[in-house]
């Protein structure tokens, strides 16, 4: 069986990297077929695993907008015949709508939706079209001359990332990371539900919110009491209860248990501080402090400015860099998302 994923095209690499990281940590056994940027198919999934995989992906992913069960793959020329041959009673519950998305083709999406609806109605009894609140959503994706026909089994909560933007939280402070990027970074850290995730520069708690919402235990610390307190307010607001927060300098942090994941956006620049250190020293001190608080198989995912070379700093402490992705913030700053782990002893 196969799952069709429609991904964000906000960034050329992060959506696929996030998907691969979740598949790795959740042990999702499937082959990845990248059709084009924004369209990925997961192939060779067993019937026994399809529902659990579907649930995991829709619950966790940030940069994937939709996940559907793929019914058939055909061509534009054979589309009508293929739609008519499908037993839609296996897929549609009383009411349905068809939505068409296109990649690298000028096909008329509205006309294709109408034609698809007519073909389904002609081949299935006791169903109706409902464009506003359908029980079943048929997703038709056209890429060049290929057509992918799919059904939505579980809906992603796309509204969450809009409704949880930093300025909509009870405690707000300028410069907070977007919830979608925070979720992606949590996923890049390969953390699983029930495991312990730490953000030692927690700020307003955006990263901890996203980790908590996918079922992680979370710990946050910040040198500023106002931030530590604000994080608690925000975590409570989103119904996250399994958390601890501390008002600490990262160099004083001694965890009560080793963490499975560290995800953070350390301070840098003139407007931020960790007290008495600045510049590259922040990252050096951070790496030294965090190393012994991490499990041997733990991952660290962090953001940093492009002008800081993390390789020698990480190397000195005993870390190795696994992945790096650049996000252009404005003309003079690119934010680098880096995935790091402890060096594996030979």
User: pLDDT class for 269, splitting at 50, 70, 90?
Assistant: low
Question: pLDDT over 90 for what percent of the chain?
Answer: 87
**DSSP three-state, residue 53:** helix
> How much is the pLDDT for 256?
87
Hunting for tokens 């589309």 — which residue is that?
A: 79
Among residues 309, 286, 184, 53, the alpha carbon closest in space to that of 70 is found at: 53
pLDDT at 270 over 50: no
- Sign of the Cα torsion 142, 145, 151, 157 reads negative
Number of helical (H) and strand (E) elements in the chain, helices listed first: 10, 15
182 φ/ψ angles, rounded to the nearest 5 degrees: -60, -45
Contacts of 76 (CB under 8 A, 6+ apart): 107, 142, 145, 146, 147
pLDDT above 60 for 126: yes
How confident is the model at residue 267, as a pLDDT? 86
Q: What is the pLDDT of residue 329?
A: 84
pLDDT for the residue numbered 282: 83
DSSP string, 202-220: -TTSHHHHHHHHTT-EEEE
| Residue 150 CB neighbours (<10 A) | 24
Sorted by where each starts, the structural domains of the chain and their CATH numbers stand as 3-152 (3.30.2130.30), 162-342 (3.40.50.150)
What's the pLDDT tens digit per position in 61-88? 999 999 999 999 999 999 999 999 999 9
Residue 331: the pLDDT is 81
Q: Among 6-15, 273-282, 291-300, which stretch is predicted with the lowest mean pLDDT?
A: 273-282
What pLDDT was estimated at residue 276? 55
Q: Give the residue ranges of DSSP H helices in 123-274.
A: 159-163, 179-188, 206-213, 225-237
What is the Cα–Cα distance from 158 to 12, expressed in whole angstroms?
20
């Amino acid at each position: 069986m196969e799952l069709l994923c429609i991904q964000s095209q906000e960034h050329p690499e992060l959506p696929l990297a996030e998907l691969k990281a979740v598949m790795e940590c959740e042990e999702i056994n499937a082959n990845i077929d990248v059709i084009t940027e924004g369209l990925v198919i997961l192939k060779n999934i067993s019937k026994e695993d399809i529902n659990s995989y579907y649930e995991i992906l829709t619950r966790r992913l940030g940069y994937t907008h939709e996940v559907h069960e793929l019914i058939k793959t055909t061509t534009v020329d054979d589309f009508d015949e293929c739609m008519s041959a499908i037993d839609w009673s296996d897929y549609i519950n009383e009411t349905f709508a068809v939505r068409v998305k296109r990649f690298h083709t000028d096909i008329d999406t509205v006309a294709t939706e109408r034609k698809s609806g007519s073909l389904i109605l002609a081949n299935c009894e006791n169903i109706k079209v409902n464009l506003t609140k359908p029980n079943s959503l048929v997703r038709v994706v056209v890429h060049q001359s290929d057509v992918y026909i799919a059904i939505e089994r579980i809906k992603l909560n796309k509204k969450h990332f809009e409704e949880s933007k930093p300025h909509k939280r009870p405690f707000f402070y300028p410069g907070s990371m977007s919830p979608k990027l925070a979720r992606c970074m949590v996923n890049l850290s390969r953390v699983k539900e029930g495991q312990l995730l730490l953000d030692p520069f927690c700020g307003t708690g955006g990263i901890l919110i996203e980790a908590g919402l996918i079922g992680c235990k979370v710990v946050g610390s910040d040198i500023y009491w106002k931030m530590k307190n604000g994080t608690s307010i925000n975590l409570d607001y989103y119904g996250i209860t399994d958390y601890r927060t501390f008002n600490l300098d990262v160099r004083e942090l001694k965890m009560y248990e080793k963490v499975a994941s560290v995800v953070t956006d350390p301070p840098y620049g003139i407007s931020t501080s960790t007290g008495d250190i600045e510049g590259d020293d922040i990252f050096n001190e951070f790496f030294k402090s965090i190393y012994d608080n991490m499990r041997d198989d733990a991952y660290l995912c962090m953001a940093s400015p492009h002008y800081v070379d993390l390789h020698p700093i990480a190397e000195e402490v005993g870390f190795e860099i696994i992945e790096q992705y650049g996000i252009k913030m404005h003309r003079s700053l690119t934010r680098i998302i880096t995935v790091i782990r402890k060096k594996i002893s030979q």
